[in-house]
């Protein structure tokens, strides 16, 4: 009986240990992902990163890759967010993105969970990084 209890306790630990180290190095962008990023940021200049953006400004989200999100505010302003670690499955755009945030802003460190549309099971979980604004330069008179 004692051996059975020990086996029940040891099995979950063995599973966790077998997972190994998680590689948080971003994968290179595919040709399609690079094209999306270039299209959205074309003609825009990067500004100083900010920690938070208004939820009102974060309604048009573009999933570029498993570690890059864009928040399009207007044709002239897009925020790029490089996630703190890759969020497996984010780029597929199949799952529902659920934000866990406090207040009416999306901020660095807020959590994003992916939820399967069919089963409701949670998939990838990741954390937002800095928001880098990209703005179109004003036309010179």
CA 108/CA 116 separation, integer angstroms = 24
pLDDT above 90 (res 12): no
Residue range 14-58, pLDDT digits in tens: 434 434 444 556 678 999 999 999 999 999 999 999 999 988 766
Give the CA distances from residue 123 to residues 8, 9, 69, 89, 95, in Å, rounded to whole numbers and listed in that order.
Answer: 26, 25, 17, 8, 8
Give the CA distances from residue 62 to residues 71, 92, 98, 100, 139, in Å, rounded to whole numbers and listed in that order.
Answer: 6, 11, 14, 18, 26
Report the DSSP beta bridge partners of residue 97. Answer: 114
Task: Supply angle C-alpha 53, 75, 59, rounded to 5.
Answer: 40
Q: What percent of the chain has pLDDT over 90?
A: 47
Residue range 51-83, pLDDT digits in tens: 999 887 667 899 999 999 999 998 899 999 999
Domain boundaries, the chain: 32-136
pTM tops 0.85, yes or no: no
pLDDT at 16: 40
pLDDT at 87: 87
């Amino acid at each position: 009986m004692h051996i059975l209890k020990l086996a029940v306790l040891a099995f979950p630990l063995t599973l966790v240990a077998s997972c190994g180290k998680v590689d948080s190095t971003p994968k290179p962008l595919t040709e399609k992902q690079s094209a999306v990023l270039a299209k959205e940021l074309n003609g825009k200049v990067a500004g100083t990163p900010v920690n938070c953006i208004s939820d009102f400004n974060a309604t048009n989200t573009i999933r570029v890759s498993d570690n890059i999100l864009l928040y399009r505010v207007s044709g002239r302003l897009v925020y790029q967010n490089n996630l703190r670690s890759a969020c497996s499955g984010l780029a597929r755009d199949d799952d529902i993105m659920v934000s866990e945030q406090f207040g009416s802003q999306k901020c660095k460190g807020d959590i994003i969970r992916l939820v399967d549309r069919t089963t409701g099971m949670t998939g990838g979980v990741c954390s937002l990084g800095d928001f880098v604004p990209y703005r179109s330069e004003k036309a010179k008179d």
